[in-house]
Amino acid sequence: MTTTLTHRAGKLSLGVTVTHLWVPEVAKLMGGYRGRYPHVALDVFTLLSGPQLEKLNQGGLDAGIIYHDDHTPSGIEAHLLQRDHLILAVPANSYWAQSPPTRLAELAETEFVWGYRGISPVYYDRMVAHFSRLNFEPRVVQYGADNITILSMVAAGLGVSIVPAASRSHPMPGIRFIELEELTTCEMPLWLAWRAGNVSPVLDNFIQMAIEIFE
C-alpha cells in the first residue's frame, strides 16, 4: 500500500455496521486514522452489510466494514479483518438469564426477535444454513431493523435473539449474553471491502492501517 504524508488532504467515506461502532479495533482504526491523517475528512455511515455493498458498487462509499462470506462479490475487493461468531442474547431478568441453556434445542418454544433477510442477505443466509444443519428453527415473533434495535427489543422483554458476538461491545443494559458451543461454531467473517479500481492514496492508507490494527 502507498504511504502518504500526514498533510495529505481529502475525504474518506466509510460504512460500518451498527454492531461494530463500539468494537475496540474499529474505534482504534477510526481514531488512529484521523490522528495520523488530520487533513482527511472521515465521513462515517452506519449501514448494514447489504446496503454497504450497494453503495460501494455505486461509488457512494470508499470502504465498508461488513459481514460477508469468503467469496468476494464481483467488482469488490476485500481483506479479512477477523472471524466473529454468534451469541445468544436474553433479557437480564428472564428465566434464561438465571438458568442459561446449553443447547439450542432447549429454546425450541422460546419467542425470538429476528432481523430481515433483505438488509444483510449473506449474514442471514449463513445463520439459517447453520441452524438447518443443527435441525433448529427459531420461533420468530418479532422483527427489528438492525442488531441494536433487536437488542433493545430483547432488553424490553420481547424475546431472545441470536446476534454477532461483537454486539457485546455495545453498552446495552438489560441484556445477558450467553455463549453456546453450537453458536460459537458458526463463523461470521468480518471484512474490510472497497470497490475494485478505486485508486486513492487516502483509501490505500486506510486499508493499510486496518490491516495493522486487526492483525
Per DSSP bridges, beta strands 63-67 and 10-16 are parallel
Lowest mean pLDDT of 69-83, 118-132, 152-166, 200-214, name the range.
Answer: 69-83
Confidence at 6, pLDDT banded by 50, 70, 90: very low
Tell me what percent of the residues of the chain surpass a pLDDT of 70.
Answer: 95
Lowest mean pLDDT of 5-9, 33-37, 106-110, 202-206, name the range.
Answer: 5-9
The pLDDT, as a whole number, for residue 4 is 42
pLDDT at 121 over 90: no
Q: How many helices (H) and strands (E) does the chain have?
A: 7, 9
Total Cβ atoms within 10 A of residue 163: 25
Full-prediction pTM beyond 0.75? yes
CA-angle at 206, arms to 202 and 40, nearest 5°: 45
Q: What is the mean pLDDT of the chain?
A: 92
Tell me what percent of the residues of the chain surpass a pLDDT of 90.
Answer: 79
The pLDDT, as a whole number, for residue 144 is 94
Provide the β-strand partners of residue 200: none
Radius of gyration of the chain (CA): 18
The pLDDT, as a whole number, for residue 29 is 97
pLDDT at 69 over 80: no
